A and B are shown apart, each in its own frame.
Chain A
Amino acid sequence: MYETDIRALLCSKRTLLSLLLMLIAFSGYALCDWILVYDWDASFRPSALQQTIGGIFFGGVMLMLPLCAAMSPSLMQIEEKPSGLMDIRVIRIGILRYSGLKLLSAFVTGACVMSTAFAIHSVIWNVIATPCDPLANDYLAIPFDENCIYAAWQPICYSLPIYLWMCAAIALCGGIWAMVGTTCSLFVSDRLLAVAMPFCLYYLWHSGLPGAITGIWGLPHPADLFNDALTTDTAISSVIIYGVIAFVCCLLHYAVLRRLYAKK
């Protein structure tokens, strides 16, 4: 049943659409930048690494991530409710397993969409632009802070560790935001709202709502895990926060389903 659900989600047109949207979000900034520097001397053009991560740091990737990650799983969850498929599945496998199934398939879909989009985007730019080799050309080096974990990785194998880390981090964030979307879609019956809610939550966290309410300003940013100022401490705190969010999603998803079926 797990494989069926994951396959149905991964092969859906909506997943393809969100993958395409995410690819546009990744490449939009890089493309605009590349058109501007196209007639420059090749050695002064930005490196493949700069082009790959430019959209994340300066473009709309951070904001598009929750929307694209949650689109397909949220809509699938919301459509299962009125169709009666949810009732049949809950009767067959129980609330706990159904909840686990939905959240796992959402996580896998979100992670796959995000990591595939990033992987395609980075491969494309490594073909078009000069791969990053700061040892061969100083101009191509990105001036990361010395505490940033990327600083030491930049000269290794055309910055492959940075690409791998970012791909994994984006996959983790995408997966968790897909779980958030699936949980949100249990609370509403409106498809547009189900897609918009994870985006709103992400943006409020991104804009510092937890800090403004609690007065604690040290909380990690939702995109810290793949952002340019990433230190070991930030990475650990971000993973912990995302772990807490995933745990809360599991609890909420299960609790809402239990409450829903206790009434039936």
Chain B
Amino acid sequence: MRLILVHPSYARLSRFADGELAGRRHTRVAKHLARCAHCRDEVAFIRRAGELARAIPTPSPADEILDGILARRRSGERIILPTTDTGAAVRWRRWLPTIILVLAALIAALALSARVFEAKKVGLRLLPEHPGRGDALSVQYHDADLFAGEYRLRLRAARPVLQRPARGAGRSV
């Protein structure tokens, strides 16, 4: 008696029974079946179950169904039947929550990095930097908000705001 250590997987036997194996894989399983009664039984069962399933008779629909169909049509009822495979759509729907989650995470990361980047730019800028009396003064600032635009504010100084410090002297306002 020969000892068989490795049997083909059930999936492989199943595919063999369906005639879906070809080439070396088919040959290998066929050889195995020639000497393994256990696997032969598995394949025989798969085939027998298929034959019996195909032989299950289905009762005929009753004739009264037609009256119901015509009555429903006459009453104006209309049904939209699934005329196309929704396979791809179903697959998409299954992944949709994950896709939304990933997109949300990406947007959040982008917003955060932009905010950090923008935050570095927050600040005031005076134009001209050293206005004199009566000069028009522009105050320019950047907002840290990702979607905020740039705001400009025009002010007129009533008196000198900044004086150019004298060389060697301290800065005064």
Chains A and B belong together in one complex: no
Question: Which A residues lie at the B interface, using CB under 8 A?
Answer: none
